[in-house]
Structure formats: C-alpha cells, structure tokens
Structure 1
C-alpha cells in the first residue's frame, strides 16, 4: 500500500479518545544566595564556605592559663600526626604518574595515553579498586523510602524544585507547557483529571492508534494491509539503519530468517502465523517510515501511524494482555518509542506500564541462569538484552518526566552478557560495549536520580554525597570504550562517512551521560549549593551532542523526541542558571557575562538551539512545538 493511499484512508477512519490535562500553577522560584562582591566562577568547585575549628572563634570551654600545658601537649601530638606519611594507593595510570599529567583513569586506556599513543598500565591495587567500584554499581537495584517529614502546620507550602534545571520549567507560562513537556510530572499532576483538554506531552483529542479494524477480521484483516515486499524491505532496512544502532535488542540474523520465511509462506499460512511476529514487522515498518526522508511529511506521518495501528491490532489478535513472548515484548518496546516520536508521550508512558508488567510476568527481571537454567545460550542472551531494553526505556523516560522508575527489582547482571564470538548469541563487539555502557549508566541513574526527583527530594543532601555521586558518574564514564569517549567534531564527521552506526551510538550515549551529570551538578539542598560551572559544562557537552546529531543526521534530530527534548531541557537549565546569576550580579558587572568564557559559551548554546528550532518550525508543515520552544528560550536572551 502506498503512503499516499494510507494517508487518505487514515483521514476518513481516524478514531478519537479522551485524554485531558491542565497545567498546575507554578510555585515561586526560590531565591539564590547573595553572591555579590565575589565571582561565582572563581573555580570549578561548588560555592561553599566552610568554617573549620581554629579559625578565630572563641571556644566556650577554654580554661584560660590553667590549660596551657594540656593544649601544648595536644599540639605536639597533632604535629607528630601530621608528619606521618599517608599510605594512599595511586589510582592514576603509571604513565600519567611518571609524566605528572592529569589522568581520567579510564579502562582499558585513559584519554591522555590515547592521545600520546603510549602504553597505559595501572597498579594492581588500582585495578582491584576499579573492579570493586564497578561491581557495586551493577548490583541489585532497590529504592529506599524517604524519611517522613513533620508538618509545621495545617497547610504546608509545596517545596520549590530542588534543581535549577526544573525551576526554569515551573516558571514558564501555562500556555507553553505543552511544548515544554513538563519535566516535573505527567499524569501525577492533579489538573490532568479535569475535563479541559491540554496538549501536555502530546496529550490531545486523538487516540494514538487509528481504528481501521472490524471485530471479526482477525489476523487476515491485518495481513491485508501489508505493503509489497519491496517497500517492506526498504522500510525494514531503514529501521536497522536508524533505530537499531540506538536500541540494539533484536538479533538481526534470526529476525531476517523469520522475516524471509514469513514472506515465502502462502497467504493461508500467513494468516495462521504468530501474531507477535506480524506485530513486530509492522512496528518496524512504522519506525522505518518515520525516518524516511523522501516522502512528503504529512503522508509519512499518516503512513507510519497506520502501520503502528496494524501492529497494535496484531498484538490484540494475539491476546498480548494475557500472554507474552519475546517477540511481543520487543514489539511493545518499539511501539513505545514510536508513540513518543509521534508526539504521544503520555500514551507511550501508559503503554510502557503494560510492557513493564508483562516483562515482570515473563521473569525477564530474573537471572536466566536461575529461572531458565536449561535454556540455550542464545535464549538467555535474548532475555538479558530484552530486559536491558525495557530497563533503559523506563529509566531514561522517567528522567525526563520526573516520575518513579518501575524496572527496579532485578538480579540480571550486566557482566553476564555473552562475548563468545563463536556463539550465535554474540553480537557486534561495539554493540555489546554500547549496551553495557548504557545499562551501567541506567543502573546508577535509576537509583540516584530518578527515585529522589520523583518525590521532589534533592538528589544530594550533603556535600560529601554529591562528591561521591559525581565520582561514581566519572567511574561509569571511564568504563566506556575509547571509541565512545575520545572524539571531537572532526573525528566524528570523518567516522560518519563509513560507520554511521558507531556515530549514532556515541552521540546517544554522550547525551544521556552528560544530561544526567548536569542534573547532579544543578541539584541543590539546604547544605549543598549548585555547582554552577559543573552544571554549565555538563549541559554544554550534552547539548553539543545534539548539535552534532543535527549536523550529521538532520532529519533524525527532528524525529528522535527523547534526544530533541533532552537538548531543550539542557537549554532551559543553562538559561535558568544565567538568569539567576544575572539577578545576583552587582551593578556595573553585567559585562562579565561577555568576558567570562563559560558564560559566553552558555549564551551561544542557547542561541544555537533557538536557531535549530526555528528551522524545525519553518513552513506550513513546521513543528508548532518547535515554534513555541523558540519563544520560551528567547526570553533567556
């Protein structure tokens, strides 16, 4: 079926469903500490003022002259203690220690050794500590309930957002929030239940799946709308070109074997085949259509939605709510990504809830060696890869929505993924490294960022906790392979000429990592200030990955909602930091924002994001969301 025919059919037979929302009134932004009289960018560390003992304050227990002997004895002991040599292990590589250069302690090679082309070796103790830290972040993920706080009165005002990254969203006008896509909740907003429609996270009058189907049609009715094989091959190849590198959960060889076998069957046998396979094929056609650049945009959109509806109908025919399989769950994971890209993030969130329950029901959250000891190596590998796909989707979606994570209880270990190249279960080594890196990052983000933000709690309550969390993030980053860390604009542009798959993986992993690191730096509490420089630098790295994606794959930058929305939130965070810093700047020092390189670069990042969004919003078929976001970001300049 041609895309133009599909679009015509969709216009006549589109169904609607009731989803409504309204934005909650924003709480007043908290006041920043008065930083007048000193530069807030004097160092890369957090702005803290510590008063140590012995700084000139009077000890109330001081006993006058009678205590001089005891104090001198104490001073002698302290002096002797300071002379003792610390037995601290060297964690940097031996080459960096010898050259006295900064080492990022990456494995298997640090960045400094990569650039110098020298042998990178670590001490035995350093390797032991690195393995211990890495295994600790891969353990079983459990969330802890927050301590109960006593109410100070009959009515207690809602606490302001614990992150400057969220306050920018809360202070925006209600009319813009549908385009901003609130990062502080979705269905959890009380006004969501009001009858007034509101386009928040794509919520509108349209049901996500158009209704083309009869009660008795069954799978034959779905197979009737299959395109010819030539067109299907083009769309499936487009899926493996654009989507599979980012979410590599489907074993390509076995899928194409099933795919070719399906097309070789006579029509009667097609109608009796596994409905979950048909659902998987249709959702891959839908995603492939989203990334086609040759079709007219409106026709491509209607065609993709038609294929997604056929995929959903195939799942219904296969009774996906009462039964589950690897194929049906793979199809559901991809349907969620399709809905999000199609500006139906709220529907995707709801559909993902069914997916999580079915994944738990299948036991995907359990170690296959325990629950399926007699399964083949390939089957165990597929279960692990499917669980990580569910876990990643849940974790990084709730980061954007500030809602509680669901894929929290598991004993599946990242390190159990098979690397045996002689086994059919083994995938491309770079794919396996990408999966491991994303999985390890998701484990850390889920417990340390998702859970507290879903309860409006600060990510870090003490300075020591924040320093430890940042160190954990850096340890995860050092565990990424060199190919995902040692890149710049020129090298990635050259790599895109012959290995676009690795380029896409590099950009997605970089964006995910630095976006979450930005949230850590931007978090604050009563005892922990914002690390302004750290937040701006992390936001710059994250939004630069989006700029690279837009430069190398412009159409894909338009389609990927998660990447596009992350970049917009990063621009909001930058703008919020600049605005609050400007309020605290002394009179006559406003030109400092042009002289300080970090501040100047931050303003350029916002300006470049606005420029990209303007291009996305141009013309009659331009994105209304992009145009609204331009208005919101322009207020920061």
Structure 2
C-alpha cells in the first residue's frame, strides 16, 4: 500500500501587474503605454491543484488523501480516484514514513538535556489558549512516558502488575479450572454480569453462551480439564466483571475476589496460547479483561492489554467485511464477528478520547448498516440492543476520525470556522439517527422507565454521556481562527454530566464502578469551570455574582464525586 505523509503544500504562481495610473477609487485601473512599448501583462490565475480524491471533491467531504484509497471512500465503499497531478505531487513528496494517513504534528521544541519533560508538568497558564483545553489535556496524562533514564509509570496509577501470580509451572488449565467457584455462585455472578455489563457492551450472545456454559459444567472432570481454554477465560472474565458489581460484600473483599478471577482468566488465555491463536471467545475475554483493568484503576495496563487485543483482532480479520472474508459462514457467525469488531472499535475509540492518544482500530471495511436483525435466525437479538450498537458504532466512527486523531497530536479539532460548523452538523446528524427512545427523555421519564426497563435506561445514559462529551470537546476546541463556542460547550458538558448524575441517582453502586463514566464527568466539570473562569475574566465585575454561584455549584459537583469514593 502506498504510503502517504499528509497534505502537499499547493504551488502558487503570481505575476504582479504592470505599473498603472489609478483613476477613481474602486474603478478599474487604466494602463497607458506608448507605441512600441510592451503590452500590459495579464494577471495569471494561481495554480492550486486539487489533492483530494474526485469522490470527496464532488461530495465536498473531508479527504485524508490516503493511497490507494482514502478512508472516506473505504467507509462509503465508493471508487477512489485522484487527479494525475495529485498523484505526481504525492509521489514526489513521499517520505520514509509508512503511515497511511498522518496528521501534521506541531513543530518540535528544543529538548533540554537530551529529553523532553512531561508536558503536563508545565504551568497551567502556559497551555493552549483554548479555554476548553483542560477537558482534553488534564486527566490521566499526568506522567507521560518519555525517554528518561529510569522507567516511568504511563498514567500515574495502577503501578502493580494486574495479574497476580497464583499459578504453578505444571498446573496448566486444570489448575485454573479447579478454582472456579461453586456453580450456584458462578450463576449469580453471571446474572450480575448480564444485568449490569451486557446492556452497555452487548457483544456476547446470551443463549449460545449459556448453552456452552451449561455443557461445560455437565462434563466430567477429566473432560473439563481438556476444555477450550478461551471459553474458560471468557467465563472467568465475566465472573470478574460480575464481581465488580456485587453489593453484598465489602469493597476490599470484592476487589480481591475480582482480581483473582481476572488472573485466572489471563492464565487460561496463556494456557490456550492466545498470543498466537485468536478466536471469538478469546477476543471477547480480552475485551472484558481490558474493561476490568480500567475499572480496577489499572488504566495503564488496560491500555497496553488493549494493544494486544487490537493486533489479534486484525490478525483474525475482524476488521474485514464478513461477506468478503467468510462468505460461507452462517448469519449468526457473521453477526458475532460484526458485534465483536464493534466492541473492539468502541473500546479503542473512547479510551483514546480520554487518554488523548492515537486510535488503533482505524482500518476496516465492516459496515454499520450490515448489523441487522433477522428474526428467523439464531442471530436475532433485542431490536433495541441492535439500535444501541449501531448508534455507538456510528458515533465511534465519527469521533475516531474527527476528534481522536487531532487530539493525539495536540492539534485543534477544527482549523477553520467552516470546518467546525461542518463537524457540528455531522454530530447532529449522528444524534438524529439515534432512535427516539435514546433521545426523547428527561429526568422524570428516565426514572419512571428505570422501574420497567433498566437495560434501556443504562444504554440511554451511556450513549448520551458519550455523545455529549465528544460534542463538548468539539465546541471547546479553539485555534487561531476558531474561538471557543462557550454556549455550545457549556450546554454539551451540562447534558453529559447530567447523564452521569442520573446514573448515580438510579444505579448508585454501578456508577461507582464505571471508571470511564466517572472520568468523563470529572473532565466535563473541569471544562465548565475553566470556560466560566475565562468568561468571568472577560466580562469583569458584571459576572462577579454569576461566577460565585457557578463556582459554588461546581464545588458541590466535584465534592459529591470525591465523596463517593470515601
């Protein structure tokens, strides 16, 4: 695949007009010359070749100018052609970089003592001029790893190894199976998993899983010891996630039990050689392990483990359209592959948003539209689940391209007012595509719905939080030509943090577990505070009492978030 290094600077050729004698202001210039003198030179139009592909030019959409196909054409599944001059310029400007698409990074700054210090240690007043920059810069990236003489913790938390070693050299998979809890206890934890986790990340087909699960328990011990290690890993990962949401034990005991189960899940994966073998079950287990590590305050380990997951997903071909790579597979198998890829993409995208790091699940031809319900097959699932998955998937595709990539290089999300308006319109179009059940609600109606359909309530609040958090990032982003949209940023942050407090109000014990939800809410509060602080500076004394009131309200918000952990 031909590499691409970014936009090529257009060539401008301008010829200054001959000296003229001006007449009246605003009237055409008059050229006077004697006989024999040279005729006046005509103004030559600038030569600005079109570097984007023909399809993106015609549709007036953003083109990353990738070769041989740009990402936009890949997602649209349209033919991608470039003008001959664009191909010539791309060939002559190609560098040694093998990146398919690359955002131009900011100019490097001189290094001190041979290495660059962590960015987040700088004085807050020296950061970007964007008043919403706090929402994109503060958080986990407090200890960014650089080429220091000694090792540095990536995100400053979770420094212990996430998988405690309880295992012997000769124990193998039978040793892991031997620590399974009693079936009754396992059933309770799995039920908790399907109640709290599955609504938010519905990637496991419940009926087929329980068929495999019951069959496993029905096997005699010798046959259990020869079971699929990936299935055992998935069971333990689900037990670990379910344990995180148990409310009948104290916090410390719950954490130790859950960490023991996730260690067993990892050991089962090791026994099944998960680094050189990939299956739907092993990848499902890895997705859950990543979420567990993040919830368990091991964001560094979760980020690293997710990297292995992405590579295995690519190796398995999950990023490819099942109709192309496995056309003879059953409808159910194709749907499972699509759901699993969506889970991998979703996890990667929204984790990179919080960490301001580059997305990895970027190359795919799997279509959201292909995820449909077939009521006549085993692949049939809850229609609301399918709508939720498609909504999250569509949002992730937009966020990955428009927010994750520029933020990973500390670039503004939009460079021009027109681009910002276009992105806002794109986000609104995605929101309009959500079913009414996820959009038409208020605090009272969602509380009423929680009595009858908690699953839909959880999905609504998670999707709402995700959408408005990223809309907040877009509104609060600023550049030299694009100011912060104060009203838009505050309204989006308010809608996002409202979803968090509703989750806490309706499902208090669950809200304490979801690290991603909590971290988003924290960044939303900081974004609001910083924007209001800057507004107060600009408006002066007129907003003094407004600033006091908002500061008190923000203090209550942050205090309530901190109090929950004590």
TM over 0.5: yes
Partner of 1:537: 491
Q: Does 1:260 align with 2:214?
A: yes
Residue equivalent to 1:78: none
Question: What's the CA shift string for 1:48-94, capped at 9, x where partnerless?
Answer: xxxxxxxxxxxx997427949x9xxxxxxxxxxxxxxxxxxxxxxxx
For residues 462-502 of structure 1, give each alpha carbon's deviation from its aligned partner in whole angstroms, at most 9, with x where no partner exists: 00000000000000000000000000011000100010000
Alignment gaps of 5+ in structure 2:
1-19, 31-58, 60-71, 79-98, 120-125
Q: Summarize deviations over 1:304-326 as a string: whole Å, max 9, x none.
A: 00000000000000000010100
**Equivalent in the alignment of 1:508:** 462
Q: Within 2, Cα distance between the matches of 1:434 and 1:382?
A: 15
> Residue deviations 1:584-613, cap 9 Å, x none?
23245423446xxxxx5x546523422422
Counterpart position of 1:146: 103
User: How far apart, CA to CA, are the structure 2 residues paired with 1:160 and 1:547?
Assistant: 30
Contact 1:517 1:538 in 2 (8 A): yes
Alignment partner of 1:586: what SS? helix
Distance in 1, matches of 2:269 and 2:311, equals: 16
**Offset of 1:426 from its aligned partner?**
1.8
Greater RCO, 1 or 2 (C-alpha within 8 Å, sep 6+): 1
Asked if 1:194 corresponds to 2:194, the answer is: no
Q: Distance in 2 between matches of 1:193 and 1:494?
A: 57
Superposed counterparts of 1:16-95, under 5 Å:
63-64=23-24, 67=27
Confirm or deny: 8 A CA contact 2:233 2:282 kept in the other structure. yes
- Map 1:599-614 → 2, pairs under 5 A: 603=551, 606-614=554-562
**1:291 Cα deviation from its structure 2 partner:** 0.1
Q: TM-score, normalised by structure 2?
A: 0.79
Name the residue aligned to 2:185: 231
The CA deviation string for residues 512-541 of structure 1, in whole angstroms up to 9 with x for no partner, is 000000000000000000001110100000
Secondary structure at the residue paired with 1:190?
coil
> Which residue matches 2:263?
309
Q: In 2, distance between residues paired with 1:66 and 1:342?
A: 70
C-alpha contact 1:220 1:271 (8 A) present in aligned 2: yes
TM-score by length of 1: 0.70
Aligned-CA RMSD value: 2.9
Distance 1:519 1:508 in 2: 17
Q: Provide closer, same or farther for how the CA distance between residues 578 and 374 of structure 1 changes in structure 2, counting only shifts above 3 A.
A: same
Q: CA separation in 2, counterparts of 1:230 and 1:152?
A: 60
Matches of 2:215 and 2:481 in 1, distance apart?
Answer: 63
Shift of 1:579: 1.8
Q: Would the alpha carbon gap of residues 604 and 471 (structure 1) be closer, same or farther in structure 2, given more than 3 Å must change?
A: farther
Q: Could you say if the C-alpha distance between residues 275 and 490 of structure 1 is closer, same or farther in structure 2, counting changes exceeding 3 Å?
A: same
In 2, Cα distance between equivalents of 1:136 and 1:287: 39
Runs of 4+ residues deviating >6 angstroms: 140-143, 148-159
CA distance in 1, matches of 2:329, 2:462: 33
Residues 169 and 572, structure 1, Cα contact 8 Å, conserved in 2: no
User: Does structure 2 conserve the Cα–Cα contact (< 8 Å) formed by 1:245 and 1:504?
Assistant: yes
Using the alignment, how far apart are the partners of 2:26 and 2:376 within structure 1? 80
Q: 2:368 is matched with which residue?
A: 414
SS of the residue aligned with 1:330?
Answer: helix
Q: How many residues align?
A: 477
The unaligned stretches of length 5 or more in structure 1 are 1-59, 71-128, 130-134, 173-179, 595-599, 623-637
